[in-house]
Structure 1
Amino acid sequence: MRLLRRLGLRARVTLATTVVAAAGLAVAGVLMVVALERALLGALDDTAHGHGRDIAALVESDQVTNPLPSFGAAVAQVVDAQGRVRASTPGGDRLTPIVTEDDLDALRAGEAVNLDGGRLGMPGQLRVVGEPAGPPGDPQTVVVAVPLTEHQRSVQFAAIGVVGGGAGLTAALGLLSWVVIGRALRPVDELRAGADIITGGGGEQRLPVPSGDDELTRLAVTLNDMLGRLDAASERQRAFVADAAHELRSPITALQTELEVALHHPEAADPSETAQDALAEVTRMARLVDDLLVLAHLDDPRPVRQAEVVDLHELVDDVVGAIPEPRAGLVVDAPEPARTTAHRDSLRRVLRNLVDNAVRHARQQVTVTVRAETGTVTVAVADDGPGVPEADRERIFERFTRLDDARGRDAGGTGLGLAIAREIVHAHGGTLTVDDAAPGARFVVRLPAADSTEPYGGGPGPSV
């Protein structure tokens, strides 16, 4: 076993194939030789019985001569019930039976026995059979012995041929297996070499795809798809880190400037105003860091599943009531309960992000509509602001994306609110889309109703 572990896959498979083939050929060869031996021995017995029946016919017709007519190399005797030899071929003993009394009883019972040819001065062994003869009052037995030399020589030649042919066939099969397995494993080695040169630094590095349409080709295609997804994820991660660093640099730079002015020109700085400005920048950084932590939690493949039935009507009332002095009017249209199974705080964050976004862009009014439909609950947040161009209605859900009219520092957004909202909604098995409110934008959240199929395989989305 230790030696097998040191062999390569190609050698192990070839060895296993050769051993199995050799074992199969050996079994088949043994069976063939045994079958041939029995067939030849049966044919020899039939020939001897034929000679015995011819002599028995002479006995029956009382035409027996002594010596008996010869049948080639066969030796025949006619033996009576008392074990006396009545007649014999020229090569046989005319006084003593060629077999013992026990063997003679076996012959009378229809069996065949083997006899050492030395008793008759012949090389090798003899095959002896018996045929009944004579009238009932004088039963006799015709004993016929034929040489086994040719039979044994034929079986020996057959065994040699089987061994030689089996060995040659096994060697040829082993060589063929080595070549075929080597060609079959060549794409695997190419995949390994291709994987060895991939540095993980991004780009379009891919594994070579073998020709054909087999399992290795599909494996290479799947691995290349996986590399593409990894490259895309790595690119998103790099962009995310760069965007996060850029977003954090602005408040840090502003805070550093405020503090340097206060330190170097204390006479020109109002301590109260400096503290307020510094607090505003720190609050901005804290909000950004909090959003980053939420996104990191959403990216965790092990979600925390804390489910409860949430009434979106009540949750919307709580979110709207918690907004201090909104710059636009807030109207809630929720005529009936709309329940879903979710994490309450996660949905609260979604609604707060959507309402804050609508208030920030509205001119005069924001309308929040809650509806319960068959198997679905819907929350729509509409404002009468400038709206979202159709070309940007998917881009605004990307991280750190803000349209041109929302890029100012005073807008109050980090560019993460809508991305967080959509990922939370998706984690709960729902959808978040935006369409035209004519005028303004209308963000629509659709979630499974509490009595419909549960997302996430029976559990809610992650708590954030």
Structure 2
Amino acid sequence: MAAEPVTAGARRTAGWWRRKSLRFRLVAVASAVLAVALGLSAYVMVGVLGRTLIAAIDESIYQRARGVVSQADSGQLPDELTSPDGTLIQVIDSAGRITHATAGTDRLVPLLNAAERSAAIAQRRSRFLDGAPYGIPHRLRVRVLSADRGQTVIAARPFSEVETSISTAGHVLIIGTPLLLVLLAGASWVIIGRTLRPITELRRGAEVITGTARSRRLPVPESRDEVHHLATTLNAMLDRLERADARQRALVSDAAHELRSPLASIRLQLEVALGHPGGQDDWRETAEGVLEDTTRLTRLAEDLLALARLDERGGAPARREPVELDGLAAQSLERYGRAVTFKADAPVVVSGDALDLGRVLVNLVDNALRHTVSPVAVELRAEGADAVLTVTDDGPGIPEEDRERVFDRFTRLDSARSRDEGGAGLGLAIVRETVNAHGGAVHLEDAGPGLRAVVRLPLS
């Protein structure tokens, strides 16, 4: 039970943090990291400074003591010792009496007693000493060296100058670190704000783009950075969406236009039949006309459904499985009887959806039969890494400048528009999109006379 309030508080904190702007979170994280770095740097710097100053004092008093030891060993100690750097010197003989000392240094009481002097010599390092008992209002840094004839040299130096330096550096860091942190946080706020400004412009540009807006694009920053690449990618996406929208609008418009004609014909025939009731033969003729228009509507609905499924799959086949194209072609062409001749190399196996590939062949043959006099020739062969399917007729053909246009949706040439059986202009569009979905290609070429449709599919 005690963990529940903690968990709830953590969730509220996380929620508050997520609600903040990206700019605030970046600046906050950067400032927190910077504060930790500056704090550690200040701590390390003060520690290094203190150790460096202590080492400098220790070296100074050691060298000063060594000089006095050299003088004592050679018997050249002056009556009055001098110390330009303020180091306190005491020379103590074997009886524990102070024989020489610098000015201002106690000549009666040694800074360290005999036991302390022996311990300091054995340790071979400097030590701290409180100077108050000796009339010195500072801590001292003391080093003891031994000389000949039982003499001992004590060198000491006030530690106040080191403490003052460390204290000054600490105060500077205590005041300067927060000021530096505030300055860097402000600079980060400005820099991050300018960095995120192109993203804000992208957001504002996206807000004004609506479903009815045409050819609107997001602003692209001049800098060649990640935001520039994001803007260009989003604009490319808008291009694709706009083309898809235009294509969808054109499909709906063309489909509505194609539906009007058979529906109007059905309505007209029924109105005439109801307005002028006659014999059984009149109703039979009306039924035949309605059936013909209904068949056209059925073909159009099937073609539109096939295109919708292709668009829904994003240009990919419904399934990928080995398809024996020679067997599929022979089975699909049985319905045409002698109107179609078929020649194939066996076996020819491709990968894809058998129903879609069968529809490709049927659409091509149906299109060829509308314009041919002789039987349509269908050939299948393996050529390199491709399966090549050709459908050839001896009709009037298609001008070279129109051979690509006929693959567009709802495209019919004038010769086809004049014939009721010409279809809605979706057959070849379904062929191309299905072949492209299977990784192949299709084109039309002159058969001299007639037209040849050539389909290439990669072999499995």
Kindly provide the CA deviation profile for residues 230-284 of structure 1, in whole angstroms up to 9, marking residues without a partner as x.
Answer: 1110011011111111212221111112222222211266222222222222222
Match of 2:284 among 272, 275, 296: 272
Deviation of 1:18 after TM superposition, in Å, equals 2.7
Match of 2:239 among 211, 220, 228: 228
Q: Where does residue 417 of structure 2 map in the other structure?
A: 407
Q: TM-score, normalised by structure 2?
A: 0.89
Q: Where does residue 145 of structure 2 map in the other structure?
A: 131
Match of 1:284 among 257, 275, 296: 296
Q: Where does residue 454 of structure 1 map in the other structure?
A: none
Between the aligned partners of 2:363 and 2:124, the Cα distance in structure 1 is 105
Deviation of 1:201 after TM superposition, in Å, equals 1.5
Between the aligned partners of 2:29 and 2:323, the Cα distance in structure 1 is 63
Match of 1:219 among 224, 227, 230: 230
Change (3 A) 1:308 1:170: closer
Q: Does 2:84 match 1:76?
A: no
Between the aligned partners of 2:351 and 2:387, the Cα distance in structure 1 is 11
Q: Does 2:459 match 1:449?
A: yes
Counterpart mapping for 1:380-395 below 5 A? 380-395=390-405
Between the aligned partners of 1:13 and 1:445, the Cα distance in structure 2 is 57
Q: Where does residue 36 of structure 2 map in the other structure?
A: 23
SS in 2 for 1:274: helix
Change (3 A) 1:70 1:353: closer
Kindly provide the CA deviation profile for residues 46-100 of structure 1, in whole angstroms up to 9, marking residues without a partner as x.
Answer: 2211221232123212345677555664333234567665554454444543235
State the AA in 2 paired with 1:279. Answer: L
State the AA in 1 paired with 2:193. Answer: G
Q: Does 2:164 match 1:149?
A: no
State the AA in 1 paired with 2:168. Answer: F
State the AA in 1 paired with 2:211. Answer: G
Say if 2:317 and 2:437, in contact at 8 Å, map to a contact too.
no
Write 1 or 2 for the structure with the bigger share of helix.
2
Say if 1:255 and 1:278, in contact at 8 Å, map to a contact too.
yes
Say if 1:313 and 1:337, in contact at 8 Å, map to a contact too.
yes
Counterpart mapping for 1:84-233 below 5 A? 85=98, 87-99=100-112, 103-108=116-121, 109-135=123-149, 138=150, 140-233=151-244
Say if 1:68 and 1:87, in contact at 8 Å, map to a contact too.
yes
Q: Where does residue 416 of structure 1 map in the other structure?
A: 426
Q: Where does residue 5 of structure 2 map in the other structure?
A: none
Say if 1:51 and 1:71, in contact at 8 Å, map to a contact too.
no
Match of 1:37 among 41, 50, 53: 50
SS in 2 for 1:167: helix
Between the aligned partners of 1:304 and 1:210, the Cα distance in structure 2 is 39
Counterpart mapping for 1:254-333 below 5 A? 254-267=265-278, 270-301=282-313, 305-323=318-336, 329-333=339-343
Deviation of 1:226 after TM superposition, in Å, equals 1.0
Say if 1:317 and 1:332, in contact at 8 Å, map to a contact too.
yes
State the AA in 1 paired with 2:342. Answer: V
Kindly provide the CA deviation profile for residues 166-185 of structure 1, in whole angstroms up to 9, marking residues without a partner as x.
Answer: 33433332222222222111
Change (3 A) 1:143 1:3: farther
Say if 2:345 and 2:382, in contact at 8 Å, map to a contact too.
no
Deviation of 1:200 after TM superposition, in Å, equals 1.9
Q: Does 2:367 match 1:354?
A: no
Between the aligned partners of 2:324 and 2:277, the Cα distance in structure 1 is 54
Considering Cα pairs closer than 8 Å and 6+ residues apart, tell me whether 1 or 2 has the greater RCO: 1
SS in 2 for 1:77: strand
State the AA in 2 paired with 1:223. Answer: L
Between the aligned partners of 1:423 and 1:252, the Cα distance in structure 2 is 28
Between the aligned partners of 1:436 and 1:100, the Cα distance in structure 2 is 121
What is the aligned length? 444
Between the aligned partners of 2:274 and 2:194, the Cα distance in structure 1 is 76
Between the aligned partners of 1:399 and 1:234, the Cα distance in structure 2 is 15
State the AA in 2 paired with 1:124. Answer: H
Match of 2:254 among 237, 243, 248: 243
Deviation of 1:385 after TM superposition, in Å, equals 1.0
State the AA in 2 paired with 1:382. Answer: T
Between the aligned partners of 2:435 and 2:211, the Cα distance in structure 1 is 32
Change (3 A) 1:242 1:117: same
Between the aligned partners of 1:11 and 1:373, the Cα distance in structure 2 is 64
State the AA in 2 paired with 1:392. Answer: D
State the AA in 2 paired with 1:337. Answer: P
State the AA in 1 paired with 2:392. Answer: A
Deviation of 1:419 after TM superposition, in Å, equals 1.0
Deviation of 1:4 after TM superposition, in Å, equals 3.6
Specify every segment of 5 or more residues in structure 2 that has no aligned partner in the other structure, as ranges.
1-12
Work out the percentage of aligned pairs sharing the same amino acid: 44
Deviation of 1:146 after TM superposition, in Å, equals 0.8
Say if 1:353 and 1:418, in contact at 8 Å, map to a contact too.
yes
Deviation of 1:165 after TM superposition, in Å, equals 3.8
Between the aligned partners of 1:240 and 1:6, the Cα distance in structure 2 is 44
Deviation of 1:19 after TM superposition, in Å, equals 2.8
Specify every segment of 5 or more residues in structure 1 that has no aligned partner in the other structure, as ranges.
451-464
Say if 2:317 and 2:434, in contact at 8 Å, map to a contact too.
no
